[in-house]
Amino acid sequence: MSMDYFLTEQQEMIRDLSRQIAQDKLKPIREKYDEANEFPWEAVEVFRKSDLFAISIEEKYGGMGGGVMETVIAVEELSKVCGGISLALAATGLGTYPIILHGSEEQKQKYLPRLASGKSIAAFGLTEAEAGSDAGGIRTTAVKDGDSYILNGTKQWITNGGEADIYTVIAMTNKAKGARGASAFIVEKGTPGFTFGKKENKMGIRASATRELIFQDCRIPKENLIAREGMGFIVAMKTLDKSRPGVAAQALGIAAGALDEATAYSRQRRQFRKPICSFQGVQFMLADMATQVEAARALVYAAARYIDSGAKDYSRISAMSKLFASDVAMKVTTDAVQIFGGYGYMKEYPAEKMMRDAKITQIYEGTNQIQREVIALNIIKASAASV
């Protein structure tokens, strides 16, 4: 019996639908897209038709009005089968959060219906070659010129880069002010002066597109500024706080998928005239893997529900969910490869791909070292405030 998390009817519906899509549509194609390092437009089309892009967008903009919990459930189910393909959906969520959280009414009306219908997908542009963990160190500039801003600079490793139509981008409007001189903008694909670098050739999540965003005297209307000048760093931090449980869900899904595969294989693989699941060495591994997956799920769901409850500050639990679930994903997928033995190392079996896909979850949307820093500073601040 699996655990009961007392999901609502809508959440169960999203879980069942995503599970079915993963089994029927993603399983048959995951190997092909991983091998080809190609963006899975046919899967995006399925997400679109099934309304998965609408999940976390308010009803008045054509969405389903769900929260982080509903998103987490969908991403977990899709990632059980392919942590690369699921990212087309999760990264669109990341690119959309700046508009949801800080966009003006006009911006919401203009962009959210397109995103909810899946007509457009989104991406978030923060990282640069010299600004990864040090998000305040970005160098891309946005200079006001009459009714426009002119962007110059290069964003690196942008998920959905080149495939998305709508980009939320952080650029400096006042370099002298450091993090307080950053601002957030919406940039549409096709804007003159906005091009893409070559597609990156990655270890895992190969069905996901990762490219540079290149801005050369790219002129955008001043209406595309999100919130106010100087708010960019806060917009980015708030966006990451809200989206990290989505990465955690991706990691959780990959881990749960690897556990399912390893358990099934251990029942079928015979050595010493017995299935290997009858050996205690394998049983103890399965038990630890299952316990870690359940603990990750409990934490990820708790973080999502806390955010959806309307809590104001959720940096700590959000970082904890991403940290814990991604470490679990790496551990569990490595153990899954071990249970598959020599076959686990071969591309014919899904375990090695899951291990490759898991690794990025410890790195992106803030390395796990950054998550630990966010958590530590948060508890130290809370402790200081309580005395």
Does position 370 interact with ligand COS (CB under 6 A)? The reply is: yes
Q: Do residues 261 and 331 touch, judged by C-beta distance below 8 A?
A: no
Angle between helices 315-340 and 280-308 (to 10 degrees): 160
> Of 55 and 135, which CB lies nearer to ligand COS in the complex structure?
135
Work out which of 234, 277, 286, 302 binds ligand COS, going by CB under 6 A: 234
| Nearest distance in Å: CB 270, ligand COS | 45
Among 126, 171, 323, 336, binds ligand COS (CB under 6 A): 126
Comparison of 164 and 336: residue with beta carbon closer to ligand COS: 164
Which 66-105 residues touch ligand COS, going by CB under 6 A?
none
Among 135, 231, 299, 303, binds ligand COS (CB under 6 A): 135
Inter-residue contact 166 to 111 (CB < 8 Å): yes
36 burial type by CB count under 10 A (0-12 exposed, 13-18 middle, 19+ buried): exposed
Q: Are 74 and 89 in contact (CB under 8 A)?
A: yes
365 classed as catalytic: yes
For the segment 298-317, give every residue that binds ligand COS (CB under 6 A): 315
Long-range contacts of range 97-101, CB-CB < 8 Å, 24 or more positions apart?
97/124, 97/168, 97/238, 97/239, 97/242, 97/243, 98/124, 98/168, 98/184, 98/186, 98/226, 98/235, 98/236, 98/239, 99/168, 99/186, 99/226, 100/56, 100/57, 100/58, 101/235, 101/238, 101/239, 101/242
* Closer of 234 and 290 to ligand COS (Cβ): 234
x/- site string to ligand COS, residues 143 to 182, per CB under 6 A?
------------------------------------xx--
Nearer to ligand COS, 124 or 265 (CB): 124
User: Of 179-208, which residues contact ligand COS (CB under 6 A)?
Assistant: 179-180
Q: Considering the complex, state which of residue 213 and residue 374 has its C-beta at the smaller distance from ligand COS.
A: 374
93 or 350, CB closer to ligand COS?
93
Query: Using the rule CB under 6 A, which residue among 113, 136, 275, 341 binds ligand COS?
Result: 136
Question: What count of other Cβ atoms lies within 10 Å of the Cβ of residue 61?
Answer: 20
Sign of the torsion angle spanned by Cα atoms 230, 234, 237, 243: negative
Rounded distance between C-alpha atoms, residue 133 and residue 137, angstroms: 9
Q: Scanning residues 315 to 334, which ones bind ligand COS (CB under 6 A)?
A: 315
Phi, psi of 353 (to 5 degrees): -65, -40
Q: Please state the closest distance from residue 11 (CB atom) to ligand COS, in A.
A: 26
Site size for ligand COS (CB under 6 A): 22
Sign of CA dihedral 113, 20, 248, 7: positive
Cβ at position 203, least distance to ligand COS in Å: 17
Q: Minimal CA–CA distance to 242: which of 365, 113, 326, 337?
A: 365
The span of 108-116, 253-261, 334-342, 358-366 binding ligand COS (CB under 6 A) equals 358-366
The correct pick among 77, 327, 352, 365 for binding ligand COS (CB under 6 A) is 365
Q: Exactly one of 43, 115, 240, 320 binds ligand COS (CB under 6 A); which one?
A: 240
What number of H helices and E strands is found in the chain?
11, 10
Pairing state between β 274-275 and 270-271: antiparallel
Q: Which residue among 11, 18, 79, 127 contacts ligand COS (CB under 6 A)?
A: 127
- Of 70, 128, 261, 365, the active-site residue reads 365
Q: Which is nearer to ligand COS, 17 or 179 (CB)?
A: 179
| Residue closest to ligand COS when measured from CB atoms | 366
**Rounded Cα–Cα distance for residues 118 and 162 (Å):** 16
Considering the complex, what minimum distance in angstroms separates the CB of residue 177 from ligand COS? 9
Question: 308: Cβ–Cβ under 8 A, 6 or more apart, which residues?
Answer: 67, 68, 69
Q: How far apart are CA 145 and CA 23, in angstroms?
A: 51
* CB-nearer residue toward ligand COS: 241 or 327: 241
Q: Which helix (H) or strand (E) holds 187?
A: strand 182-188
List contacts with ligand COS (CB under 6 A).
Answer: 124, 126-127, 133-136, 179-180, 233-234, 237-238, 240-241, 315, 364-366, 370, 373-374
Active site positions, annotated: 365
